[in-house]
Amino acid sequence: MDQRLLGKTVLVFGGGCCAPGWGNGKATSVLLARAGAKVAVVDINKIAADETASLIEEEGGEVIALTADITKRDQVDIAVSTARGSLGEIDVLVNNVGMVIGGGLERLDVDDWHSAFKTNVTGFFHSCQAVMPAMRKRKSGSVINIGSVSGARQMGIDYPAYAAAKAAVTQFTKSLAVEYAPHHVRVNAVVPGLIHTPLVEASLARLYDGAEINRILETRNAQVPMGHMGDAWDVAEAVLYLASDGAKYVTGIELVVDGGLSCTTR
């Protein structure tokens, strides 16, 4: 039995899933619980948070489900306070919240642009600012921000707002890693490539019809040197490593999970 996080309290923002199946946050929450963590699952969707929590409970894990919008600081503070009160001081923070804003420059309006940064970057600022003071005082903690390969290279889809926001996540992570390293608080990013999740399908469905979605999914598989997209468990395993003491001397990295995609020019 994996006990790498035994006794640790983990707070996962974006721990639900937008549709049936396994999203990154849902898989991460369940996997960290299987490693012995007490998990606070936070999601803007109460039903999604409850579903993830139920899965953990069914496996005998200790968990609470919370509802919060990470873009609203007061809701983040309440979620953090509730998690501490129920499960103890937070050892690991996972920021998995993300919003894909599609469309090229001329299709975007300024509200779309601001929404991409508000969700993908400012939300992470809120949660980090809420938990970091206590981690610094305790001289212990791990923060894992979920980025995207889109923040470092073109992916063949026009979404400059999303790409720019995810690039900001990478630099935000590195900045915090340096700032908090003297206090033994580690800050890292998991950087997924093409991962097949319910969120991806939902995002594509907003922009394309069924036949076009299937074509795009086939194209995404073909882009990856391994010949297929990854899944949510690939991302979850990377988060588990960075959350564990096996990564106690690892901070400020981008752990790329992309089947070799970033090594190509495709």
Contact 111, 162 (CB under 8 A): no
The residues with which 188 forms a beta bridge, in sequence order, are 144
Retrieve residue 39's tokens: 């998990």
- Distance of alpha carbon 29 from alpha carbon 41, whole angstroms: 7
Question: Closest Cα to residue 148, out of 135, 157, 138?
Answer: 157
Helix (H), strand (E) at residue 20: none
Q: Residue holding tokens 């990377």? A: 238
Retrieve residue 261's tokens: 């995609």
- Distance of alpha carbon 195 from alpha carbon 121, whole angstroms: 20
Report the b/e string of 114-128 with b at 16+ CB within 10 A.
Answer: ebbbbbbbbbbbbbb
- Residues 6 or more apart whose CB falls under 8 angstroms from that of 248 comprise 186
Give the residue numbers marked as catalytic.
162
Helix (H), strand (E) at residue 189: strand 185-192
Q: C-alpha 172: how far from its chain's center?
A: 14
- Residues 6 or more apart whose CB falls under 8 angstroms from that of 149 comprise 155, 191, 192, 193, 194, 256, 258, 261, 262
Q: Residue holding tokens 């469309």? A: 103
